[in-house]
Chains A and B, each alone.
Chain A
Amino acid sequence: MVWNKKDSISQVDSELVEGLKNSQSNSIKIIYNTCYPVIKSLVLRNSGTEYEAKDIFQDSLILLFEKLQQPEFRLRCSIKTFIYAVSKRLWLKRWNEQKVKIYDTQFETEPQDMENLIQSHENHDLALSKMMHAIGELGEPCATILKDFYLRDLTMNDIAAKFGYTNSENAKTQKYKCLQRLKKLFFYGEQENHAEL
């Protein structure tokens, strides 16, 4: 795996972008192994720890992945440059309160309009973490029932059989109740008591 010195989208890179977009594990692995060391050294140089580096890097990679899912998004630089720019932004944000200048030797100019990009991602991020939290609060069997129906496209009959409901109507009622609860948790953030671990 060779990275082009020139900051343009090379042949290899566009293949990797395509791979990441379709979440192929091979491409993700290559991107991870080549980009992580750079971010690690960025974070460590700026008084971060190794797991902060890991956090920042994984958040950046997830951001790129989710951006790629949007049809209007175009990657106009190499993956490495993009992830570096995002990580730098995210790291800067953590330090923003302290007004620390980030010590950075590479990539003086930002490849794309990062300001807007990260801003727009933030709302999306908030919604997703709210949803993840809501699913956690929802508990079982609700979470699995909803996932089975909406993500894995099982029919109501399959679900009734899997969870031992007498017929698909009962399962449907249960699914409806689950969806209502999820809706409440997601939109109104209704707090239940602290979940058992």
Chain B
Amino acid sequence: MKMISDFDLFDRFIKNQLSPEEMTGLNRRFASDPEFKKSFDEYLDLIDNLKKSDIRANLSLQLETIHAEMMREKPAHKNRSFTRALKLHSSTMAVAASVTIIVLAAFILTLNYINSLRTQEDEFIRLRREMAQIRMSQREVVATLRDSKKENPEGSYTGTGFLVNKDGYVLTCYHLVKNEDSLFLRNTRFGSVKAYLIKYDLASDLALLHIRDSAFLAPRQVPVFINEIESMIGEKVFTLGYPKYDVVYSEGVVSSITGYQGDTTSYQVSLPLNPGNSGGPLINEAGYIIGIVNGKNITQEGSAFALKSTYLRNFLEEPIDSLTRINILSVRKPAFPVQNRPLMIKSLSDYIFEVKVFE
């Protein structure tokens, strides 16, 4: 193999291991053999770019870390100045606060009274799919199957959840799993796997599941990035979920930065959603997860709600116990083609599961 020995020569050249005789030999070959010279130039170009790209990748990573640190430090800084202000003006603030409380109490009482006079119009529904209902209507349609006594393999409720890292942690909505007896997750890549409820937060309606199943082959990498920044009105978003047996895509925009009845922890999104979509990730055009779908307003068309990603991060960053913390991926750009939507969905749907809940 002549080529190998050529490359060997080049390698030793850039590592300064050539003897003076070999150097002159090399120079003579450059002069006589233009093909050889071209191959050498290409080699130098290649190695140079290899080195530079490595340096850039390292720098990029460093910048990403600094950015993440900066984002984390900001709120802490605000807090410090807040406590300082608190110390300085505590007496004034106490008076102001008590006045506020009295006024507020009066206001709330009045409001309650007015509210009790009129019937509640808009109603918020959780988007879990109630299998019993569907079964019932199915029984009417398929009368021949009525006598079948086979136990329903679909579970009592189904919803959606998504993998947050390669250790098998899955995020979903708490309302979906609150009465769980056992949980199964299913998608095309991983099949059906058993999962357990690890922790939950009632206020934010979040639950963390952990896949513990020998059939679960942990992926090398999960390209899921939960955004640190709040999204703005008009941002195009989409979600993937399991309102039926197969994964369903729906697309829309962020239509308000507050959720149901002015809830600041959620977005309102105009997105066609159905029971079963609960727990699905809300993803923007850049492929970042900006929220988790948790409900919709049944009296208004196209107004669904999603908890903001910052609350997802807070929930995930809280350690499970003193020994276990969850690694959340921080990458500069999601590792899939964002320009090609079908390809992006194909990549992402590997990490989105149908959550089957048995009560």
Listed in ascending order, the chain A residues whose CB lies under 8 Å from chain B are 23, 25, 28-29, 32-33, 36, 49-51, 54, 58, 61-62, 65-66, 127-128, 130-132, 135, 146-147, 149-151, 153, 172-173, 176, 179, 182-183, 186-187, 194, 197
Contacts and interface: CB of A to CB of B under 8 A. Distances in A.
Given A32-B63, A187-B42, A197-B350, A127 B49 contact: yes
A172 B8 CA distance: 9
Interface stretch (B51-59, B208-216, B240-248): B51-59
B7 interface: yes
A197 B343 contact: no
B62 to A, nearest CB: 6
A150 B44 CA distance: 11
26 contacts: A23-B59, A28-B62, A32-B63, A33-B66, A51-B288, A58-B64, A58-B67, A62-B59, A66-B52, A128-B49, A128-B53, A128-B56, A132-B53, A147-B50, A147-B54, A149-B11, A151-B54, A172-B8, A176-B7, A179-B46, A182-B46, A182-B50, A186-B46, A187-B46, A194-B337, A197-B221
Nearest to B54: A151
Interface string B21-43: 00000000000000000000011
Interface residues on B, range: 35 or more
B59 A197 contact: no
B300 to A, nearest CB: 27
B117 interface: no
B62 A128 contact: no
Nearest to A140: B220
Interface string B213-238: 00000010101000101001001000
B282 to A, nearest CB: 16
B109 interface: no
A25 B59 CA distance: 9
Given A33-B66, A62-B56, A135-B53, 19 more contacts: A23-B55, A23-B59, A50-B229, A51-B288, A58-B63, A62-B60, A66-B56, A127-B49, A128-B52, A132-B56, A176-B7, A179-B46, A182-B46, A183-B43, A186-B46, A187-B42, A187-B46, A197-B221, A197-B223
B286 interface: yes
The 6 closest A-B CB pairs, nearest first, are A131-B53, A131-B49, A50-B229, A32-B66, A58-B63, A132-B53
A49 B56 contact: no
A113 B272 CA distance: 51
Contacts of A146: 50
B136 interface: no
B311 to A, nearest CB: 17
A176 B43 CA distance: 12
B310 to A, nearest CB: 12
By CB atoms of chain B within 10 A, which of A131, A132, A172 has the most? A131
A65 B53 contact: no
B203 interface: no
A51 B286 contact: yes
B53 A183 contact: no
A29 B66 contact: yes
Nearest to B334: A197
B66 A28 contact: yes
A29 B70 CA distance: 9
A62 B66 CA distance: 14
B296 to A, nearest CB: 26
A29 to B, nearest CB: 5
B63 A28 contact: yes
Given A131-B50, A194-B343, A179 B286 contact: no
Nearest to A173: B4
